[in-house]
Structure 1
Amino acid sequence: MRVFFDRELDATATFWRIFRQDGIALGFTSHDRDLVFAGLRHRAAPGMVPAAIRMTSDLSEDSAGVDGALSHDSIKGSELSAGLFDRAAIEIGIVDWETLEHHTIYSGALGRIEDDSRGFSAELKSAKQVLEQDIVPRTSPTCRAFFCGPGCGLSANKFTDRVALTALDLDLNRVQLNNVASANHVDGKLRFLNGPQTGKPFGILSVDANWLTLDRPIDASVPIGTPAELIEGCDHTLTTCASRFSNAVNFRGEPFLPGNDLLARYGQSSG
């Protein structure tokens, strides 16, 4: 295995790779020319550079971040706002630019991304973040199960429709679909099956007449007629679970458990 920085002069550079959830892989390097290794071209003069990385030997989460310019060809503001980089896997490491031997020193996923129209910054979440997740569910007045997911017991096919895009309203970030518009789709999901945002789930915030308002910006280049999957929503309350779905037996919540407000109440005299 290659040992880096074991000599006075070392031909090393930093590299980092991003693996988006739509299947796109991007490679970057701090070297002054492109480097091709591990089956991927790592571009020089990149639109994204790693910030400080803190590695720990214990179980506490490592921390890192990246900064970038929205003007670079590979990092577009429209793609960031469309969520194409959300939860993308990332690797950061060292490469010998002469022999192309390389070693990954950090792996994780992109977390919160902030941009100011000229540049952006993103936090990185290391693989240790899974150790901070609760291993047992906390109590909640609403159902903790994903709608039509594990624990819910309902079939997603029963509440999913194949639809097509019929109109776009970019100013209000809403869409119109063929013969589908129901209050039951609030809190549901829309997923395009073609076009620039293929596979990205959009949450449905509200339904107004035949328009569905989405929770993330929609790409203006999505063509009319694009096929999509539309799944109904659920507000995760016991009332909805029982009356609309007749599924109260699978409700994963504690709607009648007293809350913290009970501890703050003052005693009152009955006289």
Structure 2
Amino acid sequence: MKQIDPSLAGHIAGRATTLASCWIVRRLDGTALGFTDHDRPLAVSGTLCQPQNALSATAAKDGPGLAVGGSEIGGAISSPDLTDSDLERGLWDNARVDVYLVNWENPDQTLLLRRAIIGEVNRSGSAFTAELRGLSHLLESRQGRVFSRRCDADLGDHRCKINLSNPAYQTEALVTASAPGWVQTGPLSGYQDGWFTGGRLTVLDGAISGFASEIALEQAGTAGPVFSLFEATPAALDAGTRIRVRAGCDKMLATCRSKFANHLNFQGFPHMPGADFVLSYPNSNTGRNDGSPLVD
């Protein structure tokens, strides 16, 4: 149960109140930003919450036990701290939000109502709505390892151990042409066709610097490779924009051995029996009930 400041409790119990809502958002890049539905800036928990036109929130919904609760916050993209470009680049994805009730006449009187994580963000013109997911939704995420023929490590992480700074696995290039769903660069010598399929493309400069997307497919173009992206860029990239492309991995043992020479660190279980073996059973008509393997 939340502990309320006695002075704030007394204010709420009064006949007239001066209450406002404040949201402090902490993005994964370390940026902390504050917003309020009041018409003046309010300093809450060491963060200055700026007025945001038409910012409003729906009622919070909670379920029994550890059921995931949630709500939404919506408004207009009119604050200098809340830009269309940042939303497009995913800088607000999975950001943590603290929701406060504040006495705007005395901002030291606050009550932390809930903590949440930003989920899906929807936009329509200059308006947006963001889903606020209760922290209990983290309990629904996968924990531990999954046994699979494929590797469950991420390329370059502490289990994979591949050094992605090696020029064999990533390189920088200049954009020659692009559209929201694809990017073309000049020739990339020293790399096999399809080397970057399943990899990652990151924009290094320009208006959407920091945007990244997985590469769905690398195809050979007349003037250089063409990278089809799973997530379209917010806008076409200007010619000359620097990008970084990283090699792809299909997480199979053969690829780990031939492409990365890293099969000793392979984090999958390639010799697991398949469905045919699991579903097999002794059959008197086979004439092979002699203790030999059921599946060759």
Q: Note whether the superposition's TM-score is higher than 0.5.
A: yes
Aligned to 1:170: 179
* Superposed counterparts of 1:127-138, under 5 Å: 127-138=135-146
Equivalent residue pairs, number? 266
Query: Which one-letter code corresponds to 2:5 in the other structure?
Result: R
**Aligned mates of 1:112, 1:127 — CA distance in 2:** 15
Pick from 196, 206, 209: which aligns with 1:198?
Answer: 209
The sequence identity of aligned pairs, in percent, is: 26
**Aligned mates of 1:179, 1:91 — CA distance in 2:** 48
Whether 2:51 is the aligned partner of 1:43: answer: yes
Whether 2:108 is the aligned partner of 1:112: answer: no
Seen in structure 2, the aligned counterparts of structure 1 residues 29 and 259 have a Cα distance that, compared at 3 Å, is farther
Whether 2:244 is the aligned partner of 1:229: answer: yes
**Structure 2 unpaired stretches of 5+:** 288-296
Seen in structure 2, the aligned counterparts of structure 1 residues 192 and 94 have a Cα distance that, compared at 3 Å, is same
* Superposed counterparts of 1:69-148, under 5 Å: 69=75, 71-74=76-79, 79-101=86-108, 102-115=110-123, 120-148=128-156
Query: Which one-letter code corresponds to 1:123 in the other structure?
Result: E
Asked if the contact 1:193–1:199 (Cα under 8 Å) also holds between the matched residues in 2, the reply is yes
Q: Deviations over 1:172-212 (max 9, x none)?
A: x1112343374111111122222333333221111122211
**Aligned mates of 2:240, 2:111 — CA distance in 1:** 46
For residue 252 of structure 1, report the CA deviation from its aligned partner: 0.9
Seen in structure 2, the aligned counterparts of structure 1 residues 65 and 266 have a Cα distance that, compared at 3 Å, is farther
Seen in structure 2, the aligned counterparts of structure 1 residues 127 and 164 have a Cα distance that, compared at 3 Å, is same
**Aligned mates of 1:243, 1:164 — CA distance in 2:** 25
TM-score (ref. length: structure 2): 0.75
TM-score (ref. length: structure 1): 0.81
Structure having the higher Rg: 2
For residue 132 of structure 1, report the CA deviation from its aligned partner: 4.2
Whether 2:29 is the aligned partner of 1:52: answer: no
Is 33-42 or 236-245 further displaced after alignment? 33-42
When the two chains are superposed, the root-mean-square deviation of aligned CA atoms in Å is 3.2
Aligned to 1:245: 260
Query: Which one-letter code corresponds to 1:85 in the other structure?
Result: W
| Partner SS, residue 184 of structure 1 | coil
Is 211-220 or 234-243 further displaced after alignment? 211-220
Whether 2:75 is the aligned partner of 1:64: answer: no
**Aligned mates of 2:219, 2:196 — CA distance in 1:** 11
**Aligned mates of 2:61, 2:265 — CA distance in 1:** 43
Asked if the contact 2:177–2:184 (Cα under 8 Å) also holds between the matched residues in 1, the reply is yes
**Structure 1 unpaired stretches of 5+:** none
| Partner SS, residue 80 of structure 1 | helix
